[in-house]
């Protein structure tokens, strides 16, 4: 089994329901061992759009990285995800952030996620779910919280 960290986000429709659907989909293909609170954030880039709800789930999986990414996309598709231009609104967004201690740089699959350390809405919930998270090169994710501290995020009401 390999531990993987998955970013879960939504900014279309019933955002809370889409996050729950994403978690349910993850639980159907892996063991969810931890999850963060839900955070609300403004979108980054793209056309004008509503705020996102974001969280991180930590899973244990038997799937290899490419198969896991394919399964994540299938969960998104089942939940109405339309694939248009980057940074467009979406019903459900599942990003493979970390996969064990593995670095991957292949067409269509980069782990660690290439923009995760520049986004507080990823770093903060990741550290909540996995406080000792490390990058494959051994650097601690906690070292990056100060880099993104200026970005506004807020814990979503009722989130645990």
Active-site residues: which are they? Answer: 81, 90, 93, 95
| Measured distance CA(121)–CA(43) in Å, rounded | 10
Tokens describing residue 52: 């996102």
CB crowding 118-135: b at 16 or more within 10 Å, else e: ebbbbbbbbbbbbeebeb
Which phi and psi (to 5°) does residue 25 adopt? -60, -40
């Amino acid at each position: 089994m390999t531990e993987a960290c998955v970013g879960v986000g939504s900014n279309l429709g019933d955002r809370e329901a889409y996050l729950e659907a994403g978690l349910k989909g993850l639980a159907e293909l892996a063991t969810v061992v931890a999850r963060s609170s839900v955070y609300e954030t403004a979108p980054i880039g793209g056309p004008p759009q509503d705020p996102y709800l974001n969280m991180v789930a930590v899973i244990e999986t038997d799937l290899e990285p490419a198969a896991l990414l394919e399964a994540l996309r299938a969960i998104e598709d089942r939940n109405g995800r339309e694939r248009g231009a980057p940074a467009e609104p979406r019903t459900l967004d599942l990003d493979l952030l970390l996969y064990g201690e593995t670095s991957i740089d292949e067409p269509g699959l980069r782990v660690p996620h290439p923009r995760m350390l520049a986004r507080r809405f990823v770093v903060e919930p990741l550290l909540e779910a996995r406080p000792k998270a490390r990058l494959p090169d051994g650097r601690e994710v906690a070292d990056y919280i100060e880099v993104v501290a200026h970005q506004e995020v807020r814990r979503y009401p009722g989130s645990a």
